Amino acid sequence: MSLIAGVFIACSWLLALAWIYLAVAARSGLRTLPDLTLAPLPPALTPSSAPDLTVVVPACNEEASIAATLRSLLASRGLRLQIIAVNDRSIDRTGAEMMRIQSEAAATLHRLEVLTVEALPGGWLGKTHAMALAAERAQAGWFLFTDADVVFAPDALARALHHARELNADHLVVFPTLLVHSLAERAMQSTLQVLATWGVRLWRVSDPHSRDFLGVGAFNLVRREAYRAVGGFEAAPMEVLEDVRLGWKLKRAGFRSCVALGPGLISIRWLSGALSVASLIEKNAFAVSRFRPLLHVLGSLALATLAVLPVVDLVVAFTLSRVGLTVGAAGIVTLLALLLAYRAHRRLTHAPAWMALFFVPCVAVVAYAFFLSMVLALARGGIVWRGTRYALTDLRHAAGRW
């Protein structure tokens, strides 16, 4: 047997065993995540003029979704909210929509404040600046940082805040329900969530001895003292992955982070077509490697290997040679492990296990988008997001290590 054949066999079986490990770990670990919808509805908090929770909603050109987000927040029950909506240099009707909804807030127990950012100060990303600005005006003991296209069920925030207090947590992420309109979107979203488990084991986030951490832009609930202790967004004003970075900083500082599920409590339409993942990853992916090209290329190759190697294993199996049959068996084991992994993630994805049949094309799209994010950033000398260009030199200088 040649050296190349030996390496091929070893890589094929290492990948198969790795997927088995991931599938088994996810099957047992994800079962332990609490579901907030299964707990009794928490009692209403004692009436007070002070807010129980400050919700920060940054928005840049979100006229199509901001009204639904703010109205869902105003419909919240069981607690009193201070909602701070930030119109971050929008050139559409986002600001007008915010002001229109603000007039409706008088009929509720909640208070809606609208802040307008006319110009972005140097050394800031638009979103981090908007959230830091709002956090300065926050009055509650808990902050929720969310996005302008998220819709909340009436009892979502009361359940989440009650759960965080019961656990004596400092940071809570409630995994959002991703709305899908097609089979392709379902396949892409379920594949992304299965892949994400290679980076973070959700069931280990609450373990103070693990390195697993999490932050989600749709729902980062954090205790005021913990947010201040890690320096808030002012400590990383040009962080592209500001939601993840906040989770990392809190975990690293010794604060308690927790993850919960809540099907239907927090909903977001994340993808508009399976291929839209390319535009979404364009901004964020290069930041994962902290804007280091060599590391990013290696990551792109790793993703491509996940997609290509099992297919090559099964194709080579048809040669009926000893090598072919050996790697073919590895390919079959990988496919079975993928089916188990997708089944284990059903609590997150709500997708059937047979979605694993779309694994290869979905990962190929992700690998392409991941690599493209670096190419575009290098070609442009930075990233362009919501009409603003951020220089690559500034982003590299500001990016901290994970």
Task: Please state, in angstroms and rounded to a whole number, the distance separating the CA atoms of residues 156 and 159.
Answer: 5
| Residue 48 resides in a domain | yes
Average pLDDT, the chain: 93
35, 296, 370, 374 from 377: Cα distances, Å: 39, 12, 11, 5
| 264 and 128 belong to one structural domain | yes
| 152 and 224 belong to one structural domain | yes
- Find the mean pLDDT for residues 28-48: 89
Indicate the SS3 state at residue 379.
helix
The candidate with the shortest Cα–Cα distance to 190, out of 334, 363, 308, is: 363
| Residue 205 resides in a domain | no
pLDDT at 301 over 80: yes
The answer to whether 245 touches 131, Cβ cutoff 8 Å, is: no
User: Identity (one letter) of the amino acid at 306?
Assistant: L
| 94 and 23 belong to one structural domain | no
Task: Please state, in angstroms and rounded to a whole number, the distance separating the CA atoms of residues 355 and 211.
Answer: 30
The residues that bridge with 171 in the sheet, in sequence order, are: 222, 257
Residue ranges in 318-358 assigned as alpha helix (H): 322-344, 346-349
The mean-pLDDT minimum among 48-52, 54-58, 120-124, 153-157 falls in 48-52
Please write the tens of the pLDDT for every residue from 242-261: 999 999 999 999 999 999 99
Token pair in block for residue 63: 């006229």
Task: Please state, in angstroms and rounded to a whole number, the distance separating the CA atoms of residues 330 and 291.
Answer: 35
| Residue 23 resides in a domain | yes
| 68 and 12 belong to one structural domain | no
Task: Please state, in angstroms and rounded to a whole number, the distance separating the CA atoms of residues 364 and 351.
Answer: 20
Please write the tens of the pLDDT for every residue from 160-172: 999 999 999 999 9
The answer to whether 145 touches 243, Cβ cutoff 8 Å, is: yes
pLDDT at 344 over 70: yes
- Find the mean pLDDT for residues 91-97: 96
| 247 and 301 belong to one structural domain | no
| 103 and 230 belong to one structural domain | yes
| 53 and 168 belong to one structural domain | yes
The answer to whether 101 touches 72, Cβ cutoff 8 Å, is: no
CA 63 to chain centre: 22
- Find the mean pLDDT for residues 66-91: 97
Q: What secondary structure letter does DSSP report for 87?
A: E
pLDDT given for residue 267 in this prediction: 96
Number of domains in the chain: 2
Residue ranges in 30-138 assigned as alpha helix (H): 66-74, 94-102, 126-136
Task: Please state, in angstroms and rounded to a whole number, the distance separating the CA atoms of residues 79 and 94.
Answer: 27
CATH number for position 118: 3.90.550.10
- Find the mean pLDDT for residues 369-397: 92
| 94 and 165 belong to one structural domain | yes
- Domain end position, chosen among 253, 270, 287: 270
- Domain end position, chosen among 270, 301, 336: 270
Percent over 70 (pLDDT), the chain:
99
The mean-pLDDT minimum among 3-7, 23-27, 160-164, 307-311 falls in 3-7
- Domain end position, chosen among 270, 305, 334: 270
| Residue 307 resides in a domain | yes
The residues that bridge with 117 in the sheet, in sequence order, are: 88
| 9 and 83 belong to one structural domain | no
Q: Which residues contact 231 (CB under 8 A, 6 or more apart)?
A: 249
The answer to whether 323 touches 9, Cβ cutoff 8 Å, is: yes
| 48 pLDDT tier (thresholds 50, 70, 90) | confident
Token pair in block for residue 93: 């009707």
| Residue 385 resides in a domain | yes
Strand stretches in 179-327, DSSP E? 220-223, 257-261, 266-268
| Residue 202 resides in a domain | no
| 246 and 126 belong to one structural domain | yes
Q: Structure pTM?
A: 0.94
| 293 pLDDT tier (thresholds 50, 70, 90) | very high
Residue-range definition of the domain harbouring residue 11: 3-30+276-398
| 1 pLDDT tier (thresholds 50, 70, 90) | low
| 161 and 62 belong to one structural domain | yes
4, 53, 188, 396 from 364: Cα distances, Å: 24, 42, 11, 27
| Residue 187 resides in a domain | no
The residues that bridge with 53 in the sheet, in sequence order, are: 81
| Residue 42 resides in a domain | yes
Tally: H helices and E strands in the chain: 14, 12
| 40 and 158 belong to one structural domain | yes
